[in-house]
Structure formats: structure tokens, C-alpha cells
Amino acid sequence: MKEIRSVVLGCGSYLPERVLTNHDLAKMVDTSDEWIVQRTGIHERRIAAPGELTSDLGLKAAQAALADAGRDASEVDLVLMATSTPDQTFPASAVSVQAGLGIQHGAAFDLQAVCSGFIYALATADGLLKSGAFKRALVIGAETFSRILDWTDRTTCVLFGDGAGAVLLEARPIELAEDRGILTAHLRSDGRYKSKLYVDGGPSSTGTVGHLRMEGREVFRHAVGMVTDVVQDAFAATGYTAEDIDWFVPHQANKRIIDSSAHKLGIDPAKVVTTVGMHGNTSAASIPLALATARADGRIKVGDLVLLEAMGGGFTWGAVLLRW
Ligand code: ACO
């Protein structure tokens, strides 16, 4: 039997209209454009409008991915949404996207791995496609982190933004090792670090939604080592090296983390896709947003070797290597 691979057919994204700049934030908390840019590389982020839900952002990104692929929603049999900011505790926001797309067959569910959510969702969709259970999957990362931020806490509210991105994957039998598709996916977590980055509410603890809390310096301290380790696993599994990579598309948390990770891995800075300056940290949405940006501006082309990685709350982390 021929090996099945999950091939990217298209990708798309959606950003809410409202732009919140560092200058705007400086009027809300004791901070400055200079501090935020120097420590994070972030200039501005988008904020969802009142009543605009995570599933609304996810639906628009999914429609953009379908349009990019030239495919109809009826061809999709799996909708997988990575989010930590669902519309409601249940049902999954993915079912709202499924209904919004007019799909009444197959399956839809949410997956939660905070900032690593998109990597986890890609790996999950890849496994399900390879098993033969599904043929085409929309993998979405969508977040409204603005709803769980403490807007009086300058150490966290300056870092995050809202947005969504999506890719459409198709299960295809491959002929050659060089063929397109997801080549390898590696997931990690270590719950001992759960108190370093968390939300202080939830249905079974406080009965409230809660606010994001973070020991930023601690997260920073672990981030580079964890992501570079898991990327090395992806290289070891495939035989590729940093020099073979065409595009490095990391989770967009902080420009300093991105630059340090690329440097430690030996990846040419010209191959690094960085969108954190315009989007802030959009958690599970950040990688597909960056992919859609680099695809739309002509950087990522069919056949390119693309390395994705992320690290986030849990801690969770992971890497995916794919040929676009
Ligand atoms: N504006 C001005 N001053 C600030 C701000 C702000 N927005 N936030 C904190 N400060 C102050 C602090 O109060 C502190 O003041 P003090 O020295 O008088 O006590 C000073 O700046 C330095 O604070 P640190 O926390 O040590 O600053 P650091 O250089 O570590 O930068 C940051 C903070 C940007 C949060 C950094 O630690 C970081 O990026 N960590 C990673 C966090 C992250 O990206 N999390 C996202 C989720 S996980 C992931 O996606 C990887």
C-alpha cells in the first residue's frame, strides 16, 4: 500500500478590523511604544469587535483557505479548530464553523494546546488523514485573546492579539519521498510548568472565564531550548538540516524568541517569516496567519520545505516539517 501524506491545498487568514497600537496601549497602562518594541518586536495587534466571536474569525479564515485552494466546502469532511478562547465552554467552536460552511457530514471538534494548538491540530489532522478516516481537513487556528486579558496588567495585555488562520489538507498517496505534504510532526508537553502561563478561571474551578496570567521571564527562559530541541527531532526523523529549509515559520510570540531560536538552529534570518510586529501573539492563530502572509506575498511556493514550531502554556511545544 502506498504511503498517504497530508498535502496543503491552500491557506487563508482573517484579522478583525480594529487596530490597537502600542501608542493606544500607552494611554491605557503604564507602558511605551519603545518598551514594547524593544522587548517584543510588536507594533500593533487586532482586536475583535464586540459580538465578533472566535468562530466568526475561524469561519472567515476557513473560507479564505477554501478560496485559495479553489475547493468547495462540501469536499471537506473534517473541521479541526485549535483555540483556547472558544465561543462557549461547549459545544466546540469548530461545529459553528462547520455549520457556517454548510457542511453536514464528517466531523468537527476543537483542540486546546494554547500557543502550540495549531501544531497539535496539524499533527492530529495528519494522523486522521493518514488513517484513511477522512479525506480533506480544514485545520484552523482562531483566537480572541482580547477577551481573557487583564487590561490593567501591562506585563501581559501588550503581548496578545486576535485573529485566525486556516489550511486545507488533503490525503494523497505519494510516489516519491520528495513529494509534497507533512513529512513529520513532533509533539511535547510537560505539565510541571502549568503555573507559568495559565488562565485563572474555568468551568470546573471558579465557574468564571478568568484572565491570562504569566511569568514572562520564566516562559522566555524555557522557550528557545524547548523549540530547538523538538525541531532537532524533526530534522533527525527526516534527515533534513537547517540548510535545507526554505522557510521557517515559528509561533509568533516575541521577536527575540524567534530570532534566538533561528540563530540556535543555524537558520538564515532571510528565511524566517516574522509577523509578530503587526499581529502580536495570536496564540494558535499565529502560525497559519504567518503562513497566509508568506503565501500571499509570494514567499512560500509549491515544493518549498517549510518548518513550523511553537511553544506555549502547559508547557506544550512541537514542530512540523512539511513540503508545501
Ligand atoms: N511596559 C513597561 N514596562 C513593563 C511592561 C510594559 N508593558 N511590562 C513589564 N514591565 C516592566 C516590569 O515591571 C519590570 O520592571 P521592574 O524592573 O521595575 O520590576 C521590567 O519591565 C522588566 O520586566 P521583565 O518581565 O523582566 O521584562 P522582560 O525583559 O523579561 O520582558 C516579556 C518581558 C516581554 C514578557 C518577556 O519576558 C517575554 O517575552 N516572555 C515570553 C512571554 C511570551 O511570549 N509569552 C507568550 C506565550 S508563550 C509563547 O507563546 C512562547
pLDDT in tens, 164-211: 999 999 999 998 877 899 999 999 999 999 999 999 999 999 999 999
Residue owning the nearest CA to atom 14 of ligand 1: 155
Strands 212-214 and 197-199: antiparallel
Structural domains in the chain plus CATH codes? 4-177 (3.40.47.10), 181-323 (3.40.47.10)
pLDDT digits (tens, 9 = 90+) for 215-255: 999 999 999 999 999 999 999 999 999 999 999 999 999 99
* Block residue for cell numbers 495528519: 126
Mean pLDDT in residue range 298-317: 98
Task: Compute the Cα dihedral for 167, 276, 306, 229 and give only its sign.
Answer: negative
Percent of the chain residues past pLDDT 90, beyond the cut: 97
Q: What pLDDT score was predicted for residue 176? A: 81
* Neighbouring residues of 197: CB distance < 8 A, sequence distance ≥ 6: 114, 212, 213, 214, 215, 219, 312, 313, 314, 315
CB atoms closer than 10 angstroms to residue 23: 12
The whole-angstrom separation of Cα 190 and Cα 207 is 25
Mean pLDDT in residue range 54-66: 98
Mean pLDDT in residue range 62-85: 98
pTM exceeding the 0.95 threshold for the entire prediction: yes
| Ligand 1 binding residues, C-beta < 6 A | 31, 35-36, 39-40, 115, 154-155, 158-159, 197, 214, 216-217, 219-220, 223, 251, 253-254, 257, 281, 311-312
Strands 162-173 and 136-144: antiparallel
Residue owning the nearest CA to atom 15 of ligand 1: 155
Question: Going along 119-267, which residue ranges are E strands?
Answer: 136-144, 162-173, 181-189, 197-199, 212-214, 247-250
* Block residue for cell numbers 478562547: 85
pLDDT digits (tens, 9 = 90+) for 247-265: 999 999 999 999 999 999 9
Mean pLDDT in residue range 100-104: 98
Q: What pLDDT score was predicted for residue 178? A: 77
Angle CA 28–48–279, to nearest 5:
75
Q: What pLDDT score was predicted for residue 1? A: 67
